[in-house]
């Protein structure tokens, strides 16, 4: 299994328009602080699956030589996680899309014109795709009523992607995601910044310890962190194009 972080930024991305903070200036210079909006590519020898399709999907597909996918999984209906799906226009027709009913109802009301093939998935019910086993699990991300993370398994290997989530992950989900080989975790800000809908970096590290993650990488990162090369000396920050072989 290969996991590529296509976009590690929060809803605004970095650089933030009009901002001249050190992190945004590093992003302008082409440093690893440059962060497109959230999307993750999961690959096996049988195909490719996107976890979320942020607004920068066209650029991400071009930069990573992605010309076809075998499925898209949506975690929730916030614009920075699905609106890039429109970039499939005239590129790929009838894309298979997966998610819980509430999420698909919301997103496909907007993207109906692309005629994706809908697959409603129940939380905690595994399904097979590209030779891998995917399971959607509940997380808390208000005001979204139902948001999910994604667990991917291949034989005895496990990858957990929390997507956008508060620290209060339900007990059933915590039991499911124990001891992942890789945890891709929402950590939008350092602990000096107050946030309600996401985890900060301290909370993300605490989750990794609680579920005994073998490796952790932080994503959905804002410009409030120090420039990547400086901050990554003390925190496991992801960056756009980062690849993991599991």
Q: What is the pLDDT of residue 85?
A: 97
Task: Give the pLDDT of residue 196.
Answer: 87
Q: Are 78 and 11 in contact (CB under 8 A)?
A: yes
Mean pLDDT, all residues of the chain: 97
Q: Looking at residues 115-130, what average pLDDT do you find? A: 97
Distance between CA atoms of residues 77 and 163, nearest Å: 12
Domain range summary for the chain, segments of one domain joined by +? 2-245
Instruction: Give the per-residue pLDDT at 41.
Output: 98
Architecture in CATH for domain 2-245: 4-Layer Sandwich (3.60)
Query: Tens digit of pLDDT for each residue in 44-91?
Result: 999 999 999 999 999 999 999 999 999 999 999 999 999 999 999 999
| pLDDT, tens only, 157-197 | 999 999 999 999 999 999 999 999 999 999 999 999 999 89
Determine the Cα–Cα distance for residues 158 and 96; give it in Å rounded to an integer. 23
pLDDT at 101 over 90: yes
Q: How many Cβ atoms are within 10 Å of 37's Cβ, its own excluded?
A: 28
Q: CA-to-CA distance for 106 and 187, rounded, in angstroms?
A: 25
Residues with Cβ within 8 Å of 170's Cβ and at least 6 positions away in sequence, in order, are: 138, 139, 140
Q: Is pLDDT at 214 greater than 90 in this prediction?
A: yes
Asked if 73 and 102 count as a contact pair (C-beta separation under 8 A), the reply is no
Give the per-residue pLDDT at 164.
Answer: 96
> Per-residue pLDDT averaged across 129-147, rounded?
96
């Amino acid at each position: 299994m290969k996991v590529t972080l296509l976009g590690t930024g929060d809803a605004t991305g970095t650089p933030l328009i009009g901002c001249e903070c050190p992190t945004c200036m590093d992003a302008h210079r082409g440093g690893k602080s440059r962060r497109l909006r959230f999307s993750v590519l999961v690959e096996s020898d049988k195909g490719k699956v996107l976890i979320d399709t942020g607004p920068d999907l066209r650029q991400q597909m071009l930069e990573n030589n992605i010309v076809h996918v075998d499925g898209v999984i949506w975690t929730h209906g916030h614009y920075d996680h699905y609106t890039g799906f429109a970039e499939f226009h005239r590129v790929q027709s009838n894309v298979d899309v997966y998610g819980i009913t509430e999420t698909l109802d919301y997103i496909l009301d907007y993207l109906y014109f692309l005629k994706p093939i809908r697959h409603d998935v129940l939380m905690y019910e595994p399904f097979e795709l590209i030779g891998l086993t995917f399971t959607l699990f509940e997380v808390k991300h208000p005001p979204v009523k139902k948001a999910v993370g994604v667990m991917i398994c291949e034989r005895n290997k496990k990858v957990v992607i929390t997507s956008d989530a508060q620290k209060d992950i339900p007990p059933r989900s915590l039991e499911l995601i124990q001891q992942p080989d890789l945890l891709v975790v929402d950590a939008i800000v350092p602990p000096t910044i107050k946030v309600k809908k996401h985890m900060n970096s301290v909370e993300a590290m605490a989750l990794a310890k609680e579920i005994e993650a073998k490796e952790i990488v932080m994503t959905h990162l804002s410009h409030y962190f120090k420039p990547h090369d400086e901050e990554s000396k003390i925190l496991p920050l992801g960056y756009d194009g980062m690849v993991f072989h599991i």
